Structure 1
Amino acid sequence: MATPNEGDSVNVHYTGKLEEDGTVFDTSRPPDEGQDANPLNFTLGEQTVIPGFEQTVGDMEPGEERSVTLSPEQAYGPRRDDLVQQVERDELPDDIEARVGQQLQLRMQNGQTVPVVITEVDEESEQITIDANHPLAGKTLVFDIELVSVEDGEDSGESEIVTP
């Protein structure tokens, strides 16, 4: 068996944990043994998953299981202080009750929406601190990955499924 190539469709099972304390933040595996599991499917080279995850899967063979530790640079990047901003309460819609931990979609002047989390509310000054960093930015992550199958991505008109 060979490793997948760029353009191949891969199916993987994974569990993602924080290195600092082992907290599971995401998994493709069902919580109960008897439930069906839906593996994650993505195409290598399309950059739809974090770089270190994609690189690891690209070096695996079908049926292989591997544990990998990813630095922030290989995952969601470092935390950036410039993505933490203070805004006036009146800049938010009136129907939003600002509270710490609340997630919002902020529409930028160019029309793009950016997910943000309210991290601080100062009732006196009516200043609200919002954070546009990914929740896992700056974190070292551990992934347990199983490459379940690979589907040849070549435009040959035929499909080849490779499983262990």
Structure 2
Amino acid sequence: MNFIAKIAAAAVLSLPSMASAQMLVASDPDSLVQFFVEEGADVESTVDNTGDPMLEVDYYGTDFTLYFYGCTNNSDCKSIQFFSGYQTEGSVRKAKINEWNANNRFARGYISEGGSARIEHDLYLGNTGVTADDFAALTSKWSKAQGDFEEFIDW
């Protein structure tokens, strides 16, 4: 084996294996449960009204639901949605929600048919998912947006 090949082989062997780093994927809800548990959050794994996975999360005082979408027979899901709803009984006007949406890129708000204010953020995780560090950053962005939304609607 020549010198360059030996150096290349040593470099490859010294790199951390991509397979060893657990990726968080929607097709494995337990990977997301484990993430929240390791973060010190309270998380309950359940199912939604169609039988798809759903997580109820209390993340550092921020309560939200994580829905799973793009599922086949209630498994092998492709995406997730952070969601939080507020029973505002019509006190938040649609014009205010439109203002929120015009000024906030990632988390969108809307008013339900029953007059409740809601906020959600969709994430496509695909087949390979995201690293725990990236998901922590995404969850932090969601938590901040949720707090900002609560302040915006005077919750």
Same fold (TM > 0.5): no
Using CA pairs below 8 Å that are at least 6 residues apart, which structure has the higher relative contact order?
Answer: 1
More helix by share: 2
Normalising by structure 2, report the TM-score. Answer: 0.26
Normalising by structure 1, report the TM-score. Answer: 0.25
More strand by share: 1
